[in-house]
Amino acid sequence: MVALLALLIGLALGSWIAHTRGRKQVRASAIEQSRLLGWIDAAPVGWLILDPLDRVVVINTRAEQLLGTSAATLPAGQPLERLSPDLALVGLIRDTRWRNRPQRLALPRGDQELELLSLPGRDRWVSVVIQSRRSLEAQLDQQERWVSDVAHELRTPLTALLLVGDSLAAQVNSSNAVLVERLQRELLRLQDLVNDLLELSRLENALPAAPAPRPPVALLPLLEQVWTGLRPLAEARGVSLQLAEGPADDGAAVVRGDSSRLHRLFYNLLDNALRYSPDGEPVAVDLRCGGGWCRVTVRDRGPGLSEEDQERMFERFYRGDPSRARSRRGGTGLGLAIVRQIALTHSGRVEASNHPTGGALLEVLLPLAKGKTN
């Protein structure tokens, strides 16, 4: 409910800002602007609106309470530094503009910890939704328990049905072989769907962890390990891996993070490339590090991506043109949504485009581990 309210207010606020800055698509009267500001001020979450020069344009009552400030001491138009000298908050705003994506931050404030969600807007405007981490944790815990309960209730009958399918397969004859095979295939797909939904829910509901060093993960051996798991499927279609590592001016290609989730990220990317690669054509993976970042690009030799694919392929359950696929294996429609969430939880991002000479190109950018790691 809070997320829905935040979204509605954000959409309305975007229209209001567009109007006040001379855009004519939405015409709001002074009464409507006043009503909108009243809704923002009464919202159960904190709202902070910043212009392109990091000046505070709007701060509601809840944000004042959470940040321990007052509009009386912070007139509109004052720089963000007057509200909070915390470099983490300033960095959050600038990172949001640079990535042009929502960013999250846990910010200690007095005896509590705040959860900040920054949202990029048009023309470099940024809004920040602020909540108490304790109340947010309670909401997310409740949601995760609900998802876990549903997943558990689905897994029990699924397991029973899979056993029934195995039993039928042992007694299959020419008249029902196709039906039994289809039953087993669909049950396995449903099982994968339940597991992927649970994993995506956990990723989306994960709050930023307290600042603590994550273990180092070397990307080159991780990529080789991921391909080892996919090799039987690839070799059956004559698809090989072309893995290239460029020179790294910042040292080895090592990031910090959860190795199992990074394994899942690259498994999903390579599996996706394998699905769309023509038989006998290689999947090319290029690994390069520099400027504090590691970039991994995965390219297939398929027909490439449509404009709609490029815009929506990381959305849950989005499926592109099935004629593009070169493999009969079906997916759950959640693989690339999981990729995006894992990248975000590792302070990275993932983008999709078409390679100039053909095929789809998916690029993952992850921050390089600080300090030497051998």
pLDDT at 107: 80
Which residue of the set 19, 152, 263, 346 is catalytic?
152
pLDDT at 5: 41
DSSP type of residue 47: E
Give the domain ranges of the chain: 2-133, 136-205, 216-367
User: pTM for this structure?
Assistant: 0.55
pLDDT at 364: 93
Q: Which fold has domain 216-367?
A: Heat Shock Protein 90 (3.30.565)
pLDDT at 7: 41
Chain CA centroid to CA 235, Å: 31
Cβ-contact 179, 171 below 8 angstroms: no
pLDDT at 257: 86
Q: Which fold has domain 2-133?
A: Beta-Lactamase (3.30.450)
Q: Matching CATH topology for 136-205 and 216-367?
A: no
Q: What is the pLDDT along the chain (374 residues), one digit of tens a residue?
A: 444 344 434 444 444 444 444 443 444 455 577 777 788 888 878 888 889 888 888 888 888 888 777 655 555 677 777 766 677 888 888 888 888 888 888 887 777 778 888 899 888 899 998 887 665 555 556 666 666 666 666 777 777 777 777 877 778 777 777 787 778 777 777 777 777 777 776 676 664 544 456 788 999 999 999 999 999 889 999 999 998 887 655 557 888 888 888 998 999 999 989 988 888 999 999 999 888 889 999 999 888 888 888 888 888 777 766 656 656 555 667 888 888 888 888 888 899 999 988 889 999 999 888 754 43
Collect contacts of 193-198 with beta carbons under 8 A, ≥24 apart.
193/332, 193/334, 194/151, 194/154, 194/155, 194/158, 195/151, 196/332, 196/334, 196/335, 196/338, 197/147, 197/151, 197/334, 198/147, 198/148, 198/151
Class of domain 136-205: mainly alpha
Bridge partners of 131, per DSSP, are 115
Q: Would you list the DSSP string of 51-71?
A: -TT-BEEEE-HHHHHHHT--T
> In sequence order, what E strands does the chain have?
46-50, 56-59, 103-109, 112-120, 126-132, 216-218, 241-245, 254-256, 283-290, 293-299, 349-354, 360-367
pLDDT at 19: 42
Concerning whether 152 is annotated as a catalytic residue, the answer is yes
